[in-house]
């Protein structure tokens, strides 16, 4: 697998921009636990949502590893041994901080919301004071991060297996947004707003 | 978020069938680490590939958590607070075993290959004895697994926020296979075989 570590912060932000779900790794009573969670980020930190994670972590001062992976496709080589995947992945390490300040909770929730659904923060009803108090967010600095990007062709095209005459190449996988499906309880006549409707068919990663 | 734990093994196998990448959580010198890896599975165990993982784990007898998550879409509610995601996720816990027996290595590699690219095991050149010896696989029993599936509509359609008159619903996200891209080193005249070519446009999850 042609896998390259990257040290340019732009690569980290590109992976964070492309991903939708992060996998949060924590150690609970000595046992590793990996939970999926949505996220948002600014230039300094990643904000994570999720009651499971928060329950395990709030106030614990424990290290976590947050991994965001975007799968770009398969590398189909002439030999099984040279098969691989093309992907972009970011791992962020550190000790997260529970967000408790109402302004920072708002900031974090806005980033989370806008990352998954740009435009929703201005469209939907924003959190009340009570809802904010019930929101569990974690903030993790982006200072310790490692990015790996694999973007390659099969590596056996100039070796002895080339003589097998087999097809080899990449098989891409692409995530796209589907058509919005209205809530069954929605009264007739309310159309999906442009910031939602125009995503149909657009790449999600 | 309408999130349901599932205990039917069929749900576990459905998540494993739909996913392509697993996130493997390990504890290395007390630090959590989450690495993406491809996988295969049979009725008893999941097989994981990946040198990083194997290096940390081989022979260590350490517990891991393997999480496979498939994102199905966003739940866009009338209020930001009720936003969520629809997803299917499986967490598998246990102590993995390095696979060393050549027959089991072949079995595991076949499952891995066929999970990502059905048909490749019979099409591509199978591993030599030397390649098998260089293959790092881990086997983890499926005995301890937990499955969560969230498949819901916004939950604020019958509350006070319904009066806001805002659109609400689901925004699906779908992964599909793209067109195979031939290796630049491939001689002209070798077409992608049917088991690859026919996937174009098919759902990947």
- The per-residue pLDDT for B55 is 59
B65–A186: do the CB atoms touch at under 8 Å? Answer: no
Task: Please tell me which residue of chain A has the smallest CA distance to B51.
Answer: A1
Of B164, B180, B185, the CB nearest to A157: B185
Q: Is B180 a member of any domain? A: no
User: What is the pLDDT, as a whole number, of residue B85?
Assistant: 96
Distance from CA of B97 to the nearest CA of A (A): 16
Is B113–A80 a contact, with Cβ atoms under 8 angstroms apart?
yes
Residues of A in contact with B73 (CB under 8 A): 178
Query: Would B90 be classed as within a structural domain?
Result: yes
- Same domain as A112, residue A56: yes
Q: Are residues A13 and A72 in the same domain?
A: yes
B23 chain-A contacts, CB cut-off 8 A: 23, 25, 34, 67, 69
- Provide the shortest C-alpha distance from residue A35 to chain B (in Å): 7
Residue with tokens 């395990």: A56
* pLDDT score recorded for residue A111: 98
Classify residue B193: in a domain, yes or no.
no
The tokens describing A136, both together, are: 């569990």
Contact A65, B34 (CB under 8 A): yes
Contacts of A177 in chain B (CB under 8 A): 171-174
DSSP codes joined into one string, chain B = --EEEE--HHHHHHHHHH-SEEEEEEEETTEEEEEEEEEEE-SSEEEEE-HHHHHHHTTT---EEEEEEEEEEEEE-SBGGG-EEEEEEEEEEE--EE---HHHHHHHHHHHHHHHSTTHHHHSBPPPHHHHHT--EEEEESSEEEEEEE----S-TTSGGGGG----EEEEEEEEE---EE-TTSPTT-PPPHHHHTTTTSB--
* Total domains present in chain B: 1
- A90 shares a domain with A76: yes
Q: Are residues A143 and A178 in the same domain?
A: no
Token pair listed for B111: 């499952």
Contacts of B33 in chain A (CB under 8 A): 25, 65, 91
Cβ–Cβ contacts within 10 Å for residue B98, how many?
14
Per-residue pLDDT at B53: 55
Torsion of CA B24, B29, B32, B38, to 10 degrees: -10
In this structure, the answer to whether residues A178 and A91 fall within a common structural domain is: no
A149 plus A182 within the same structural domain: no
Give dist(CA A183, CA B158) in Å, integer.
11
Taking CA atoms, what residue in A is nearest to B20? A71
Q: Which of A63, A87, A121 sits opposite B36 (nearest CB)?
A: A87
Q: Which residue of B34, B125, B127 is in closest CB contact with A65?
A: B34
User: Does A154 contact B31 at a Cβ distance shorter than 8 Å?
Assistant: no
Q: Does the residue B192 lie in any domain?
A: no
B95, burial (CB in 10 Å: exposed 0-12, middle 13-18, buried 19+): middle
Query: CATH code at B133?
Result: 2.30.110.10
- Residue B73 — left, alpha, or beta (φ > 0 → left; ψ -120 to 50 → alpha)? left
Question: Which residue(s) pair with B180 in the sheet?
Answer: none
Q: Which of A61, A171, A178 to mutate to test the interface with B (most CBs of B within 10 A)?
A: A171
Q: What is the pLDDT of residue A55?
A: 59
What's the confidence (pLDDT) of residue A53? Answer: 55
pLDDT average per 10 residues of sequence, chain B (205 residues): 72 97 93 95 93 59 94 98 96 94 96 98 96 93 96 96 97 97 96 97 92
Residues B91 and B67 sit within 8 Å (Cβ to Cβ): yes
Cβ contacts of A175 on chain B, cutoff 8 Å: 173-175
Residue in chain A lying closest to B197 (CA): A171
Which of B63, B78, B175 shows the shortest C-beta gap to A124?
B78
Domain that holds residue B109: 3-155
Question: Do A174 and B176 make contact, defined as CB atoms within 8 angstroms?
Answer: yes
Is residue B189 in some structural domain? Answer: no
Per-residue pLDDT of chain A (205 residues; tens, 9 = 90+): 345 788 789 999 999 999 999 999 999 888 999 999 999 999 999 999 866 555 566 556 889 999 999 999 999 999 999 999 999 999 999 999 999 999 999 999 999 999 999 999 999 999 999 999 999 999 999 999 999 999 999 999 999 999 999 999 999 999 999 999 999 999 999 999 999 999 999 999 8
Q: Is B161 a member of any domain?
A: no
Cβ neighbours of B63 in A, within 8 Å: 30-32
CB A147 within 8 A of CB A15: yes
- Give me the pLDDT at residue A162, please: 97
Q: What pLDDT, on a 0 to 100 scale, did the predictor assign at position B1? A: 37
Answer whether residue B204 is part of any domain: no
pLDDT of B44 reads: 97
Residues A137 and A182 in one domain: no
pLDDT value for A52:
56
Residue A90 and residue A147 in contact, taking contact as beta carbons nearer than 8 Å: yes
**B72 CA: distance to closest CA in chain A (Å):** 10
Q: Are strands B3-6 and A64-76 parallel, antiparallel or unpaired?
A: unpaired
| pLDDT tens track for B46-105 | 999 866 555 566 556 889 999 999 999 999 999 999 999 999 999 999 999 999 999 999
Same domain, A124 and A156: yes
Q: For residues A92 and A158, state if they share a domain.
A: yes
Residue in chain B lying closest to A129 (CA): B81
CB contact under 8 A, A185 and B87: no
Asked whether residue A179 falls in the same domain as residue A123, the answer is no
Q: Could you tell me if residue B184 is inside a domain?
A: no
Query: By three-state DSSP, how is residue A14 classified?
Result: helix
- Distance (Å) from the alpha carbon of B129 to chain A's nearest alpha carbon: 11
């Amino acid at each position: 697998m042609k896998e390259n570590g990257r040290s340019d912060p732009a690569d980290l932000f590109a992976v964070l921009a492309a991903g939708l779900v992060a996998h949060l790794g924590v150690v609970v009573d000595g046992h590793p636990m990996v939970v999926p969670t949505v996220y948002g980020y600014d230039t300094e930190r990643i904000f994570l949502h999720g009651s499971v994670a928060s329950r395990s972590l709030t106030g614990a001062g424990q290290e976590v590893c947050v991994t965001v992976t975007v799968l770009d496709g398969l590398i189909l080589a002439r030999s099984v041994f040279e098969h691989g995947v093309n992907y972009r992945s970011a791992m962020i390490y550190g000790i997260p901080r529970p967000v408790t300040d109402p302004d920072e909770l708002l900031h974090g929730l806005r980033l989370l919301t806008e990352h998954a659904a740009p435009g929703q923060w201005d469209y939907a009803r924003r959190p009340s004071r009570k809802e904010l108090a019930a929101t569990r967010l974690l903030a993790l600095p982006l200072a310790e991060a490692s990015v790996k990007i694999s973007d390659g062709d099969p590596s056996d095209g100039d070796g002895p297996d080339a003589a097998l005459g087999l097809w080899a190449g990449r098989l891409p996988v692409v995530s796209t947004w589907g058509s919005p499906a209205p809530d069954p309880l929605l009264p007739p006549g309310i159309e999906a707003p442009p910031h939602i409707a125009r995503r149909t068919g657009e790449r999600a990663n």
